[in-house]
Amino acid sequence: MNLNYAIFRSEPIMTTHDLAGIGSHNQREKKAYNSNPDIRTLDSYKNLELVPLNYKYVKRFKEITKEYEKQHNEKQKTERKERQRSYTQMLNQSRNCVADELLFTDSPKFFENMNNDDLMEWANTCMDFVYNDLGYKKEQVLHSVIHLDEKSPHIHCVVVPLVKKYDKRTNSERYTISKKQYIKDNIHLSELQDKCHKRLTDEGFELERGIKGSDSKNLKIKEFKKVTRYYENKSKKLNEKMDYAINEFEEKMKTTKNIPFNKTHVLVEKETFDSMNNVINETKKVMEFQPKLEQLFDEVNDYTKRHQTLEKENKVLTNRVNNLTKENNTLKERLKSILKAIKTFFRQLLLSGNELTKATTTSEIKDYFDDKQFSVNDVYDISKETTKEDELFDYVGIPSYMIKYKPTFQKDDDFEVNL
C-alpha cells in the first residue's frame, strides 16, 4: 500500500518573459488552450483567487521588487558604460530565478463531494503552509489562484523570494532574489512536502490512502498505524467541530425560544438560522466520514485475523480499532440526536416560516433524503399538513395508503430543539 502525500511542487521561473507567460496561463488570458485540452474555458469563471491580481504579473513583480530595482539602478551609476545593464537585463541574464511557482493538488478523488467551504479550508491550509512553513510574507505572494476548470482542482501560487542579505564586499545589507533561502535543496523539499501533508491531515483532511484487503499480506504494520492514527485525529476533529457548532446553536436558541409565533410566520434570527446550518453542515461531514471509518474496521480486522502470528503488533492495532470503535459509537449516538433535532427544526420552519424560509428548508429536506439521511417516513413526519406537503410527498414518492391512514404529526407548542 502506498500512502499518498499531499502533492506540493516548486517550479522556478527564470526570466521575466517566462513570468509573463505563466501569468497569462494562470489568469486565463488566452482565448484558446489548444496545447492543453484538459482546460475547460467555459468553467474558468469558477476559478477562485486566494491572492487576487487585477493586472499583469510583470507589473506586480516590479512593485514587489521596487527597492531591489532602485538598488540596482544606483549601482549602475558607477559602472562603465559598456557594463551597464537595465534591471530587466540583469534579472534575465543572471543564473537566479525571478520567482517561484508553488503547486498544490491531490488526486481527483480527494476533491469528490467537497463543497466550497471545504475547498476553501483546504486552500487556506495550503496558504498557511506558504506563510508559516515556507516563511513567505504576504507581500511576497504575487498571485495565488485555485483552478477549477481542469481535471483536478489545484493551486498556483507565485511567490517572489526577495531577501535582504549581508554583503561582505560593501559591508551592508543588500537585496537579492534567492529561492534557496526558502527551499535549500531536494532533501529540504522532501521535508517540506512532509510538513505540508501533516498540516493538511492535522486539519482533518483525508488524503488518499487506499487500504485494499486483497493486498493486505503485503502491507506493513507501520502503514496501518499511520492510517488508524489519521482516523483517530479525524474523529477527534469532527467531534470538536460538532461540539462547537452545537454549543453555538444552543446559545442562539436561548433567545429564539422567547420569540412568539403567529399563524403565518416565526421570527427566527439570522444568526440562529446560520448556527443551525452550521450544525447541519458538520453533521453531513460526520455522515460522510462514518462509512469510511467502518470500512477501516473491516479491513484491519481482516488483516489481524489472517496474520495471527504477529501477536504483539496485532495487539497494537486491536487497541487502535477499539479506540476508533468508541469514537464511532459516540458519533452514531450524536447523529441520532442531531438528526432528531434537525427534523424538529425543519418541521417548525415548514409550519411557521415565511415563504423564503420554507423554500430553503424544503431544498434541505430533499438533500437529506437524496443523501439517505432521511427516510420516506421522516419526510412524511416533517411535511405532513404543511404548505410544502404536496411537493415533498411527490418528491419522495409517498404511497397513497400512508397519506390516508398515517397519524398526524402534532405541532409543538414551543419552538425547542433538544440536543
Parse the chain into domains and list their residue ranges: 7-202, 213-405
DSSP code of residue 203: T
pLDDT at 190: 84
**Cell 466550497 appears where?**
116
Contact between 182 and 130 under an 8 Å Cβ cutoff? The reply is no
Is 187 buried (19+), middle (13-18) or exposed (0-12) by CB count in 10 A?
exposed
In angstroms and rounded to an integer, the radius of gyration of the C-alpha atoms of the chain is: 28
Contact between 14 and 109 under an 8 Å Cβ cutoff? The reply is no
Topology (CATH level 3) of domain 7-202? BirA Bifunctional Protein; domain 2 (3.30.930)
> H-helix or E-strand containing 145?
strand 141-147
> What values do phi and psi take at 34, rounded to 5?
-65, -30
DSSP code of residue 138: G
Contact between 149 and 41 under an 8 Å Cβ cutoff? The reply is yes
pLDDT at 262: 44
- β partners of residue 12: 100
Closest CA to 43 of 158, 152, 156: 152
Contact between 202 and 230 under an 8 Å Cβ cutoff? The reply is no
- Mean pLDDT, the chain cut into blocks of 10 residues (419 residues total): 63 94 88 67 88 94 96 90 90 91 86 81 94 95 94 93 86 90 89 87 62 38 59 69 71 55 47 68 66 63 55 59 66 69 81 83 85 84 90 84 52 41
Instruction: Give CA angle at 193 (191, 196), nearest 5°.
Output: 115
